[in-house]
Amino acid sequence: MIKLEALDLYKNDFSDEFPLSIKNCTSLKSLNLGANKFSGNLPVWIGENLFGLYVLTLRSNNFSGNIPLQLCQLASLQILDLSVNHFHGTIPSCLSNFKIMVTEGFSQVDYSLITYSYNVDHVMIQWQGTEREFIRSNMVLLRSINLLSNNLTGEIPYQITNLDELIALNLSKNALRGKIPWKIGQMKNLLTLDLSRNKFSGEIQSTISQMTWLNYLDVSDNSLSGRIPSSAQLQSFDPSRYEWNLGLCGPPLTKKCPGDEESRIQHSIGIDELQGWFYVCGAIGFTVGFFIACGALLTNRRGRFTFFFYVS
């Protein structure tokens, strides 16, 4: 068992607490206990003994308690899925220790170790609202944290925005509150960001518009307010991704922001006034020009001759 590199017990009917027998599997690279009936707290020895893990999938169980800080010692972790459990407390700020999810650490990884050193053909991931299978060849590109559907509270730790190589972040269906971190825009490799069904407040940070690879965003069912930042990308998402935030306004929602109607009217009035002044100035210019021409004709004999010659 000490040499075991991959253990997949997904979707069985196992119960009881986290298996103590796994403690000695110090060579594990991938551990999947998802879709069982395991319960209790996560043991701290996961981070102390299984320090070589790349994949940790514990979703759809009955685990509870806090997310242990020792989990942050898994510096090589590439996929963390604790979704659909009963974890409570705050999100550990030390998750920023996952070096593979940071540019500096990501550039130093020998991915042949991940792809070929252990027998994992696929992994199931909750991706953009649906369960999706990632095959072995694509796993090298995937870096994901999924804490969906727990009882987590507090704010998003700002340190998590340092994970600039993260591809997917799902914090949906918790009781998280506070503002979306301003620095979230520096997570430029995010493809999917789900913050829905929490208690976030304040505005959607304008820095999100800097996340040029983002193709899935859901902030629905929070307490967000203000204008949705203006960018072709953010306005292209379905309006349902922003709904159930009573204070949110602006495209793609049909709800107008305060001052939008007044601004439109003022813009219209401005155009009308500009057109009016154009005609007035044109009339004045014509009149002034006419009298100048007449004056020139009256005072200049050669000019009068030339003018009437061409007219006749």
Q: Is residue 220 part of a domain?
A: yes
- Extract the tokens encoding 293: 């021409």
Same domain, 187 and 273: no
What number is the average pLDDT over the span 1-30? 91
What are the two backbone dihedrals, phi and then psi, of residue 172, each rounded to the nearest 5 degrees? -65, 155
Query: Mean pLDDT for the chain?
Result: 83
Number of structural domains found in the chain: 2
CB 252 within 8 A of CB 235: yes
Altogether, the residues listed in the chain come to a count of 312
What does the pLDDT look like over 148-168, one tens digit per residue?
999 999 999 999 999 999 999
Same domain, 47 and 150: yes
**Do residues 286 and 190 share a domain?**
no
Q: Let me know whether 284 and 225 are in one domain.
A: no
Q: Which domain holds residue 271?
A: 262-311
* In-domain check, residue 85: yes
Answer yes or no: do 248 and 290 share one domain.
no
Q: What is residue 139's predicted lDDT score, i.e. its pLDDT?
A: 62
Tell which residue, 134, 74, 139, has the closest CA to residue 112.
139
Q: Do residue 216 and residue 179 come from a single domain? A: yes
| Cβ atoms of 198 and 177 closer than 8 Å | yes
One domain for residues 229 and 270: no
Supply the CATH number for residue 72's domain: 3.80.10.10
Number of alpha carbons in the 13 Å side-chain half-sphere of residue 72:
14
pLDDT confidence of residue 92: 97
pLDDT for the residue numbered 106: 53
Give domain status of residue 1, yes or no: no
Angle subtended at Cα 10 by Cα 8 and Cα 16, rounded to the nearest 5 degrees: 100
| pLDDT (0 to 100) of residue 88 | 98
Q: Which of 186, 180, 142 is nearest to 164 (CA)?
A: 186
Examine residue 221 and state whether it is found in any structural domain, yes or no.
yes
pLDDT category of residue 120 using cuts at 50, 70 and 90 = low
Please indicate whether residue 213 or residue 134 has the higher confidence score (pLDDT).
Answer: 213
Residues 306 and 184 in one domain: no
Q: How many CB atoms lie within 10 A of CB 283?
A: 10
Which of 216, 238, 255 is where one domain is finished? 255
pLDDT at 22 (0 to 100): 95
Which pLDDT tens digit goes with each residue over 269-291? 444 555 555 554 455 555 545 55
pLDDT value of position 121: 64
The per-residue pLDDT for range 252-262, each reduced to its tens digit, is 999 999 988 76
Q: Does the pLDDT at position 118 exceed 60? A: no
pLDDT given at position 302 = 38
Nearest CA to 120 out of 31, 58, 34, 60 is that of: 31
Query: Is residue 249 domain-shared with residue 289, that is, in the same domain?
Result: no
If you search the block for the tokens 């998402």, which residue do you land on? 237
Predicted confidence at residue 268, as pLDDT, reads 46
Q: Is residue 157 part of a domain?
A: yes
Query: Which of 207, 238, 255 is the C-terminal boundary of a domain?
Result: 255
pLDDT grade for 132, boundaries at 50, 70 and 90:
confident
In this structure, is residue 293 part of a structural domain? yes
Q: What is the pLDDT of residues 67-88, one digit of tens each?
A: 999 999 999 999 999 999 999 9
> Could you tell me if 64 and 111 lie in one domain?
yes
Which range is least confidently modeled, 66-70, 215-219, 267-271? Answer: 267-271
Average pLDDT over residues 119-123: 63
* Domain annotation covers residue 37: yes
23 and 169 housed in the same domain:
yes
pLDDT in tens, 156-214: 999 999 999 999 999 999 999 999 999 999 999 999 999 999 999 999 999 999 999 99
Taking only the tens place, the pLDDT of each residue in 231-247 is 989 999 999 999 999 99
Judgement on whether residues 77 and 219 belong to the same structural domain of the protein: yes
